[in-house]
Amino acid sequence: MKEDKIKSGMVAIVGPPNVGKSTLLNALLGQKISIVTPKPQTTRNRIIGILNDPAYQIVLLDTPGLHKAGKPLNQEMVKIAVASLAEVDAVLFLIDVSLPISNKQAGPVVYLESSTVPAILVLNKVDLLDREKILPIIEAYRKIYPFAAIMPVSALLNSGTDVLLQELLQHLPTGPKFYPDDIPTDATERFIVAEIIREKIFLLTGQEIPYSTAVIIDSFKEEEEKNLVTIYATIVVEKSSQKSIIIGRKGAKLQQIGKNSRQDIEKLLELRVLLKLWVKVHKNWTKDMRFIRDLGL
């Protein structure tokens, strides 16, 4: 097949927070690229996943959840998601069908009104709902926006994703590939490592702690002869009290974050990992636009 005849396009995965956008990205790719937690607003930046096949290349953009943003950090997250809509050939708009239709779920559809590309409504988590309850949801969303298609899936169970992929390909143009065949993402190893550490913080801490933390990779040194990577990373929080919680009694919480992170990083890099974590207070960093920019947001 000639390269200029393949399906080649960019697709934004958008929707409210915590509806399974990152889980869908990972399911379509067949590997974990984007971090996943049960908490909303886990994804802060745009994550690119590249789906390669002899017949197509799809560049999938996993975006932060569309929500009513207060803090500058959250405002930047929403800007990232909205900006992605202007760069793509198609949109996958996800909702969680296990939740009632509300302004929080359906409200973000308004962001599609300025888009000129096909949008597919993806009804995620259909495994949590009786089949007869899905039809009223489809009818409700048909009245809200003229979606090109409506597709039920369970991203967690990887059910319906193959049919979704075939539908998506119908809406993409032909053209050359954007990336080489052998890379699943354009994210650097440093970025993914920082995201893995942040994921463990989300999973191991509660209340406001996950939303008040950032992770900076200070050093990333590979020693091939030892089959070893040594990583130094700083966990940034907003308050001294948060620092104490992250560290835990006798350092137990920080040790657990480090242990769980190291296990995933070793799977990612296929090397032994020595991970050193520090915790630093940067007062009210989520309102510090210069620091937010330095984080790459």
We report the CATH number of the domain holding residue 215 as 3.30.300.20
Are both 34 and 150 inside the same structural domain? Answer: yes
Q: How far is CA 178 from the centre of its chain?
A: 20
Query: 89 in a domain, yes or no?
Result: yes
Kindly report, residue by residue over 159-218, the tens digit of the pLDDT.
999 999 999 999 999 999 999 988 888 888 999 999 999 999 999 998 888 889 999 999
Last residue of a domain, one of 120, 136, 169: 169
Question: Can you give the CATH number for the domain in which 75 is found?
Answer: 3.40.50.300
Query: 175 in a domain, yes or no?
Result: no
Domain, as residue range, for 258: 189-294
Query: 201 in a domain, yes or no?
Result: yes
Are both 84 and 125 inside the same structural domain? Answer: yes
Query: 179 in a domain, yes or no?
Result: no
Kindly report, residue by residue over 234-259, the tens digit of the pLDDT.
999 999 999 999 999 999 999 999 99
Are both 140 and 266 inside the same structural domain? Answer: no
State residue 4's pLDDT score: 59
Are both 143 and 237 inside the same structural domain? Answer: no
Mean pLDDT of 112-141: 92
Give the pLDDT band (50/70/90) at residue 78: confident
Query: 85 in a domain, yes or no?
Result: yes
Q: Taking Cα atoms as reference points, which of 178, 186, 150, 149 lies closest to residue 56?
A: 178
Are both 130 and 265 inside the same structural domain? Answer: no
Sort residue 203 into left (φ over 0), alpha (ψ -120 to 50) or beta. Answer: alpha
Are both 129 and 68 inside the same structural domain? Answer: yes
Record the pTM: 0.86
Query: 39 in a domain, yes or no?
Result: yes
Are both 238 and 208 inside the same structural domain? Answer: yes
Are both 41 and 137 inside the same structural domain? Answer: yes
Are both 25 and 93 inside the same structural domain? Answer: yes
Are both 60 and 131 inside the same structural domain? Answer: yes
Q: Is the dihedral of CA 287, 293, 294, 297 positive or negative?
A: positive
Query: 264 in a domain, yes or no?
Result: yes
Are both 140 and 57 inside the same structural domain? Answer: yes
Q: Please count the structural domains in the chain.
A: 2
Are both 158 and 207 inside the same structural domain? Answer: no
Average pLDDT taken over every residue of the chain: 90
Give the pLDDT band (50/70/90) at residue 151: very high
Query: 174 in a domain, yes or no?
Result: no
